[in-house]
Structure 1
Amino acid sequence: MSKPIVAIVGRPNVGKSTLFNALAGERIAIVQDFPGVTRDRIYADVTWLDKQFTMIDTGGIEPESNDVLLSYMRQQAEIAIQTADVIVFLVDVRQGLVDNDFKVADMLRRSTKPIVLVVNKVDNFDKLMPDVYEFYNLGIGDPHPVSASSKLGLGDMLDEVVSHFNPADMKEEEDDRPRIAIVGKPNVGKSSIINKLIGEDRVIVSDIAGTTRDAIDTPVKYHGKEFVFIDTAGLRRKSKIKEEIERFSIVRTVSAVERADIVVLVIDGMEGVTEQDAKIAGIAHERGKGVIIAVNKWDAVEKDDKTIYKYTNEIKGTLSYMPYAEMIFISALTGQRLTKLFDLIEKVIQNQNLRIATGVLNEIMAEAVALQQPPSDKGKRLKLYYITQVSIKPPTFVIFVNDKELMHFSYTRYIENKIREAFGFSGTSLKFFIRERKEKE
């Protein structure tokens, strides 16, 4: 089931990132410092009462001139509108109501998406309420006062946000067709791949970087089986704000990855892996999705008998935190090896849904422990009692041990490698949870 997406929109310096950090809490720090997993998080998982959602911060830039600012905010709001289920429109009580707030409000109103108007920097509710009421003039409903920096009023605001989640919108899970997101930087050939797979030009592609307009779901049949391809849009670029737009194209990627079972990361064979690729791969890895790396434009790469090995090693080096990812070298232009993509997708789906009997898992673990003694600290040795698989997509395991502190990341990785040696699990990440059990249990 895909989680609702909530986007925070507003002018620069109204406190978008402060609000984002207050809601995301310290949980933002749980991303391991793998190379390529972004530090400047623009999305986080938030749980309020029994509801979970993904929050996106569209913040953080102030272009020099007013007209650039407006066109930038327009693009930003457009992306939020297209991507989000609920929009939090943030304004600043200290700056009061300004012209650009009206302009953004107009755009948001036209979107017909639910909008929660939030007035930030209200450090004193008694004194500042008259200033808060001024924002009724925007004509988009009740203003909700908060202070992001003092964490005041956030509960009432979140109640309002989650009240807009529509149970009907969340019922995508009845559709059991595998969902495949085609992601990658602008202009690496994502739309051309989908066009080739459906065999017609359903997606308008021109050679200007970033001309695809929006994420498009395309059902594709192959050998009688139906798949849904999610094409993430590139963006029209304006050179002045290109870097920020790059950052926002990640917003769309996050929402596509969120909805997908398998992520096909398209890399430009002429360019090799870039930092942006690594970021996108990091999102898929963190979300526990199946991952296939498709190196496109392979027809244009000058090759000798070592090229593929060189490429494979370079990509595996950059994406070292996901050695399980499947790789395929394709050309959307010539159609080379594109049908192989379906075979890989099938294989990854099977691996994502693989369940392993508890008895077999415990045999593998016992053998692993016998081969390499678990670590000890100050005379206390780690004991692994029991392992069991608790879910699929991605396959998730719980290991019961005597002391969680002793279970180093590296030993968990060692157990994971042993399980992969036995069952492959290529194309999918595996998740491990470590639980403590007292000796007597």
Structure 2
Amino acid sequence: MERNTIVAIVGRPNVGKSTLFNRLSQKSKAIVIDVPGATRDRNYADCTWHGRRYTLIDTGGFEPASTETILIQMREQTHLAIEEADIIIFLMDGRDGLTPADIEIVQLLREGGKKVFYAVNKVDGPRHEGLLPEFYRLGVSRIHDISAQHGLGIDELMEDLSACLPEEAASAGEEGEEEDRIRIALIGKPNVGKSSLLNKILGYERTIANPTPGTTRDAIDTPFEFDGHRYLLIDTAGIRKKSRISLSLEKYSVIQALKTLDRCDIALLLIDAEEGITDQDTKIAGLAFEKGRAVIIVVNKWDLVAKDNSTVGRYVRDIKDRLKFMDFSPIIFVSALSGQRVTRIFALVQEVYRQYTTRISTGELNRKVMEIVSKNPPPQYQQKAHPFNYVTQVSIKPPTFAFFVGKPAEIHFSYERYLINSLREALGFTTVPIRLVFRRKHRNIGS
């Protein structure tokens, strides 16, 4: 299957690239806020326009003359997007007018030899149409005046651009292709090495790796294949403590990271080996657990820790003690910098995903439950038949079981915990969360 045509949106900071990205992708995926440089990494979305498929890339702002380290890195990311793209949308700001930076970017685009569509944003109606003529000094034959915020001129821009896209509409199998991928989110507090781990896995500088906490602000999606298996890696913004979130931009980043947990199957929770597990790590783990996500705990920077024969055991005990609610989650010690044990993560991912998507037949499930309850009936039912009529699995991701009960309200939470732990052991759900729901029913189990 041929890959999608790649369309990259480039331009100076704060010209509306993320707003246009969200307009075209029809989702609020990129951060949109009136702060120059809000988008730093490349952000991807698969889109269609009248049945024609393409992949859209949002990029960080491009400042040709900047010497600040983070802006230089943003410029490098934009260069990568231009190299990767088949088509470029170069976005300018009508209210700023044509700037020297715009002219320099146009020169760069011409040297790249890619198909470029030029658009002037923030033209919100007839009163702004007078802003357009000076942009024709660039010597291009067609400039689209648009308002990404209000949707003005977008149809005309996309009608021209879609003529460069393949005509074949996606088949049903192609549309469901991403569903075949295991979705893995990299989560954790800032500066634990999430982007470095992603870059090590992919083998190139996919995202900015910078020692400044909070460098990654958007959730970055990257399709990836390893050892014959298909994955989608999602690098998230570091989740900061609420007391440290002063800028509204960082609040958007936290929201984005939390939303990412809704899109993944498995979360890799990165912990800094030098710091050990912290209160913030525990809170982030709790967020993933509440959402029912399978979690692999990745202790990063392991090469920087002085070790003896008890070091690993001590770390494992500390993590399991702090994360009692998810002590079933596997733990792996890696170095994203050196690559130590990084590829072993994927063997864990495969096993965790197998359990996360396992279905148990109703017959087998009821037999196991009968054995479990017979060994330890609920206290209030010690002298009576057990309270469960029958049990069935109602969903996966996470495995969820419905217990049909005479009196659901009388099942104590401590007994529910006993059932969960017993089912985990009996059915092989040793590395994933499972959920129980109790419903009223009047048919006896096994009848």
Please give the range of the TM-score, normalised by the shorter of the 2 chains: 0.5 to 0.7
Structure 1 CA distance for aligned equivalents of residues 122 and 293 of structure 2? 30
CA RMSD of aligned residues (A): 4.0
Q: 1:359 aligns with which of 360, 363, 380?
A: 363
Other structure's SS at 2:326 match: coil
Q: Where does 1:219-258 land on structure 2 (aligned, <5 Å)?
A: 219-234=223-238, 241-242=245-246, 248-258=252-262
Does 1:302 find its partner at 2:322? no
Q: How many residues get paired?
A: 295
| 2:39–2:217 contact (8 Å) kept in structure 1 | no
Alpha-carbon offset, residue 329 of structure 1 = 0.8
Structure 2 CA distance for aligned equivalents of residues 387 and 173 of structure 1? 33
Matched with 2:353 is 349
Alpha-carbon offset, residue 207 of structure 1 = 1.7
Q: Where does 1:17-416 land on structure 2 (aligned, <5 Å)?
A: 74=35, 175-234=179-238, 241-242=245-246, 248-376=252-380, 383-416=387-420
Identity percentage over the alignment? 44
Q: 1:111 to 1:267 in 2, by over 3 A?
A: farther
Structure 1 CA distance for aligned equivalents of residues 352 and 330 of structure 2? 8
Structure 1 CA distance for aligned equivalents of residues 422 and 334 of structure 2? 31
Q: 1:382 to 1:111 in 2, by over 3 A?
A: farther
| 1:399–1:432 contact (8 Å) kept in structure 2 | yes
Alpha-carbon offset, residue 369 of structure 1 = 1.4
| 2:189–2:239 contact (8 Å) kept in structure 1 | no
Give, as a single letter, the amino acid of the residue that structure 1 aligns with 2:218.
Answer: D
| 2:269–2:296 contact (8 Å) kept in structure 1 | yes
Give, as a single letter, the amino acid of the residue that structure 2 aligns with 1:369.
Answer: V
Alpha-carbon offset, residue 410 of structure 1 = 1.4
Structure 2 CA distance for aligned equivalents of residues 173 and 193 of structure 1? 25
> Residues 161-204 of structure 1: CA distance to partner in whole angstroms, max 9, x if unpaired?
xxxxxxxxxx8785321110001111000001011101111212
| 1:375–1:407 contact (8 Å) kept in structure 2 | no
Give, as a single letter, the amino acid of the residue that structure 1 aligns with 2:347.
Answer: D
Comparing 267-276 with 290-299, which one deviates more in the overlay?
267-276
Structure 2 CA distance for aligned equivalents of residues 375 and 410 of structure 1? 11
Alpha-carbon offset, residue 279 of structure 1 = 2.0
TM-score, L = length of structure 2 = 0.58
Alpha-carbon offset, residue 337 of structure 1 = 0.8
> Residues 140-162 of structure 1: CA distance to partner in whole angstroms, max 9, x if unpaired?
79xxxxxxxxxxxxxxxxxxxxx
> Residues 207-265 of structure 1: CA distance to partner in whole angstroms, max 9, x if unpaired?
2222224221112211122211000134999x985598766543122111111111111
Give, as a single letter, the amino acid of the residue that structure 2 aligns with 1:427.
Answer: T
Structure 1 CA distance for aligned equivalents of residues 122 and 275 of structure 2? 38
Structure 2 CA distance for aligned equivalents of residues 413 and 406 of structure 1? 14
Give, as a single letter, the amino acid of the residue that structure 2 aligns with 1:187.
Answer: N
| 1:389–1:395 contact (8 Å) kept in structure 2 | yes
Q: 1:179 to 1:241 in 2, by over 3 A?
A: closer
Give, as a single letter, the amino acid of the residue that structure 1 aligns with 2:267.
Answer: V
Give, as a single letter, the amino acid of the residue that structure 2 aligns with 1:332.
Answer: A
Structure 1 CA distance for aligned equivalents of residues 389 and 265 of structure 2? 32
TM-score, L = length of structure 1 = 0.59
Q: 1:410 to 1:244 in 2, by over 3 A?
A: farther
Other structure's SS at 2:426 match: helix
Q: 1:295 to 1:222 in 2, by over 3 A?
A: same
Q: 1:435 aligns with which of 436, 439, 447?
A: 439
Q: 1:434 to 1:193 in 2, by over 3 A?
A: same
Alpha-carbon offset, residue 412 of structure 1 = 1.5
Structure 1 CA distance for aligned equivalents of residues 341 and 329 of structure 2? 17
Structure 1 CA distance for aligned equivalents of residues 435 and 398 of structure 2? 7
| 1:382–1:401 contact (8 Å) kept in structure 2 | no
> Residues 59-102 of structure 1: CA distance to partner in whole angstroms, max 9, x if unpaired?
xxxxxxxxxxxxx98599989xx99xxxxxxxxxxxxxxxxxxx
Other structure's SS at 2:270 match: strand
